[in-house]
């Protein structure tokens, strides 16, 4: 079936239906016929649609950077799949960056990460001002982290974050939240790293979606 839609305001209907003879026109002419077209291609910048980054398999990386995030992006989802680090001490954090060759800011973050394990009274909380924290140190090197973190633009260069992750192997659920205003410019990148800056990711995978 072909439905013809005017370039300005008219619609030409196909044959069939009550009061709908072949070629009946409502509005102006100057029509274009849409036949088996794929809608959604060629969306303009700023349209609401999801774009996936490229998943990164973790082996021996100190940092994992997702760069070239478009300036119109308003929400970013970070997906963590059974990631592990080489030590049990540092917290797992991420930082926001700006610029074509990103500069990652390490001041001005507010927020906390905290949770509980299988013993409800065993609560913990972590506050870091140099980055967003989404997990404190692993209990054992074999432990892994899975879950989702969401960044949302408030206005300008101010972003808020929330996340829920699972510390697999330690029966823990971790919740995190915070905010950050980027002082250097528009957000273009996200870096996942550790509070030590030297420990490496050694298992799992990570990716982002943005819209």
CA-closest candidate to residue 201, choices 86, 112, 113, 45: 86
Listed range (32-41, 95-104, 116-125, 142-151) with the worst mean pLDDT = 32-41
Q: Which two tokens stand for residue 152?
A: 């949302």
Q: Tell me, what's the pLDDT at 40?
A: 47
pTM higher than 0.85, yes or no?
A: no
Average pLDDT over residues 32-59: 68
- What CA–CA distance (Å, rounded) separates 41 from 211? 15
Q: Tell me, what's the pLDDT at 52?
A: 96
Listed range (61-65, 127-131, 144-148) with the worst mean pLDDT = 127-131
Structural domain spans, the chain: 3-34, 52-210
- What CA–CA distance (Å, rounded) separates 183 from 105? 8
CA-closest candidate to residue 105, choices 187, 173, 28, 44: 187
In sequence order, the β-bridge partners of residue 162 are 150, 177
Listed range (74-78, 110-114, 137-141, 182-186) with the worst mean pLDDT = 137-141
Model confidence band, residue 38 (pLDDT cutoffs 50, 70, 90): very low
pLDDT in tens, 76-128: 999 999 999 999 888 999 999 999 999 999 999 999 998 887 766 556 677 88
- Measured in whole angstroms, how far is the alpha carbon of residue 117 from the centre of its chain? 26
Q: Tell me, what's the pLDDT at 48?
A: 58
Residue pair 82/206 in contact (Cβ under 8 Å)? The answer is no
Average pLDDT over residues 38-46: 49
Assigned CATH class of 52-210? mainly beta
Q: Which two tokens stand for residue 175?
A: 């919740």
CA-closest candidate to residue 78, choices 135, 138, 124: 135
Q: Tell me, what's the pLDDT at 100?
A: 96
In whole angstroms, how large is the CA radius of gyration of the chain? 24
């Amino acid at each position: 079936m072909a439905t013809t839609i005017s370039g300005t305001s008219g619609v030409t209907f196909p044959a069939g239906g009550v009061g709908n003879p072949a070629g009946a026109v409502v509005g102006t002419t100057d029509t274009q016929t849409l036949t088996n077209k794929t809608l959604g291609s060629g969306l303009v910048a700023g349209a609401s649609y999801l774009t996936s980054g490229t998943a990164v398999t973790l082996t021996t990386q100190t940092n994992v950077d997702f760069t070239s995030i478009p300036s119109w992006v308003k929400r970013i989802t970070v997906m963590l799949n059974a990631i592990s680090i080489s030590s049990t001490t540092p917290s797992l954090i991420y930082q926001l960056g700006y610029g074509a060759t990103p500069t990652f800011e390490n001041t001005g973050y507010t927020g906390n990460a905290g949770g509980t394990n299988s013993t409800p009274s065993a609560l913990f909380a972590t506050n870091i001002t140099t980055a967003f924290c989404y997990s404190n140190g692993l209990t054992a090197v074999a432990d892994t982290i899975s879950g989702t973190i969401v960044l949302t633009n408030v206005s300008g260069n101010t972003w808020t974050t929330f996340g829920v992750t699972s510390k697999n192997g330690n029966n823990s659920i971790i919740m995190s939240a915070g905010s950050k205003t980027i002082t250097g410019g528009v957000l273009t990148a996200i870096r996942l790293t550790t509070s030590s800056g030297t420990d490496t990711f050694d298992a799992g995978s990570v990716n982002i979606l943005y819209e």
